[in-house]
Amino acid sequence: MKKITFIGTGYVGLVSGAGVSDFGHNVICADIASDKIDQLLDGEIPIYEPGLNNLVERNVKAGRLTFTTAVDKAIQDADVIFIAVGTPQGENGNADLSAVYKVAETIGNNLNGYKVVCTKSTVPIGTGAQILQIINQYKSNEIEFDYVSNPEFLREGSAVKDFLWPDRVVLGTPSEKAYEVMMDVYRPLFINETPIVKTSIQTAEMIKYASNAFLALKISYINEIANLCDEVDADIHEVTKAMGSDGRISPKFLHPGPGYGGSCFPKDTNAIASLARQKGLTLRTVEGAIKANQYQKDRMVDKVKHLCNGDVSGKTIAILGLAFKQETDDIRDSAALDMIKALLKSNAVVKAYDPIANKNMSIKFPEVNYCLNWEAAVEGADATVILTEWREFRGMDLNKVKELMHQPVLLDTRNILPIKELNRLGFKYDNVGRKGINKDAL
């Protein structure tokens, strides 16, 4: 059992900290944001993440998980320190590392014995060397430490599952001693025969970016194929089903949609593309994926306008789904942001409903009419747009949708509604690459 401190209690730090405490270690989650720590100390979870509540509660009750704003002491008391602070996108696509550097300085100032310092935050390739340099600059000379890059592969909405049952654990370090310490931290996974990838620091950093950029590329690729299906009346569902049956392709991350969002893909693709350019290279595939993604979001707006005969001004448009994907309240880079901005700019009246993201979107766009259920959102609407694949939208009674709307016009950007039923009810609708589209009938 080790004493482990996580610095940063966002969805990576909190999920990973609670997960590591579930492995039997004594974990302190530290953050300078006293409001977050107060919430956690009151037993409240500041982020929406399925399963996180009872993971935290179970380990707090067992006395293995605590929270503090006293970062210095949390560092002094720990055997292993995880850096899990945010690295948001800064100017021209580079990641903003100011929080990481600040934490590195604090760690240097509080090293009171041998410790392993581990970065879980997503940091550009080469950042590990800078963190090492900062810690060495601020620590007392005689004290030793080792550094490990341990990137996370957590998806929002399934972060707890992804942490407790990962496809692999990546450990980037030159130190055998640090590697042994980390193997002890992740022992339950190791016993479960989870693949442990031992490599260099910069290779571990590259694995994270290369993985995320590839997944983003895969999504942009299938979105472009779906767009071509629109034009040749092919069915993207049948295409992806057949493609996914090829083990080399896999059916995962092959679902067309309105364009990817979230806190990672947009940031990580821009960061790796920007790093390449700094090194005199151009990642044409990644830059292509970034461009294709923005095109996809713009294309969804064009589709809505087409369904409204080219003019949405004065029309009431209902948006179902605001989060960048289901099972989260996160709207960062969500396709809904582009959609709402464009519709308001074209003088449409926008109504919206999302099971949990209404509040976050209302901060960005207070002028939208936020509804408490999908029925209220579609009532009187001239067109309805589905942007997030929440289960409750899959199960909507389309008869009721038709009754409530001013006219049965619908864009399904997640291809979750039954086309036959939409046809039978005489909807004028569109989606992303599904044949049998009845765009012009009403």
Active-site residue numbers? 264
Residue among 43 and 251 whose Cβ is closer to ligand UDX:
251
Can you tell me whether residue 11 is helix, strand or coil? Answer: helix
User: CA-to-CA distance for 341 and 241, rounded, in angstroms?
Assistant: 34
User: CA-to-CA distance for 300 and 397, rounded, in angstroms?
Assistant: 23
Give the residue at shortest CB distance from ligand UDX: 264
DSSP code, position 172: E
Q: How far is CA 339 from its chain centroid?
A: 19
Minimal distance in Å, beta carbon 300 to ligand UDX?
12
Q: Crossing angle, helix 201-232 and helix 284-307, to 10 degrees?
A: 40
With CB under 6 A as the contact rule, the residue among 215, 317, 377, 432 that binds ligand UDX is 215
Q: List phi, psi (to 5°) of 71.
A: -65, -45
With CB under 6 A as the contact rule, the residue among 67, 186, 260, 390 that binds ligand UDX is 260
For residue 272, what are the CA distances in angstroms to 131, 150, 225, 287, 386?
19, 18, 24, 9, 31
Can you tell me whether residue 95 is helix, strand or coil? Answer: strand
Region of residue 250 (phi > 0: left; psi between -120 and 50: alpha; otherwise: beta): left
User: CA-to-CA distance for 227 and 242, rounded, in angstroms?
Assistant: 17
Minimal distance in Å, beta carbon 428 to ligand UDX?
25
Note whether 365 binds ligand UDX by CB under 6 A: no
- Contact partners, residue 220, CB within 8 Å, separation at least 6: 260, 288, 289, 290, 292, 293, 296
With CB under 6 A as the contact rule, the residue among 86, 108, 262, 355 that binds ligand UDX is 262
> What one-letter code names the amino acid at 438?
N
Binding mask 219-258 for ligand UDX (x = CB under 6 A): x---------------------------------xxx-x-
Note whether 48 binds ligand UDX by CB under 6 A: no
Minimal distance in Å, beta carbon 261 to ligand UDX?
4
Residue among 155 and 187 whose Cβ is closer to ligand UDX:
155
Minimal distance in Å, beta carbon 70 to ligand UDX?
29
Residue among 115 and 208 whose Cβ is closer to ligand UDX:
208
Minimal distance in Å, beta carbon 442 to ligand UDX?
29
Note whether 264 binds ligand UDX by CB under 6 A: yes
Q: Where do we find the tokens 């760690």?
A: 107
Minimal distance in Å, beta carbon 328 to ligand UDX?
7
Stretch that binds ligand UDX, among 112-120, 148-156, 183-191, 364-372 (CB under 6 A): 148-156
Note whether 161 binds ligand UDX by CB under 6 A: no
Residue among 265 and 370 whose Cβ is closer to ligand UDX:
265
Binding residues (CB under 6 A) for ligand UDX: these are 152-156, 212, 215, 219, 253-255, 257, 260-262, 264-265, 324-325
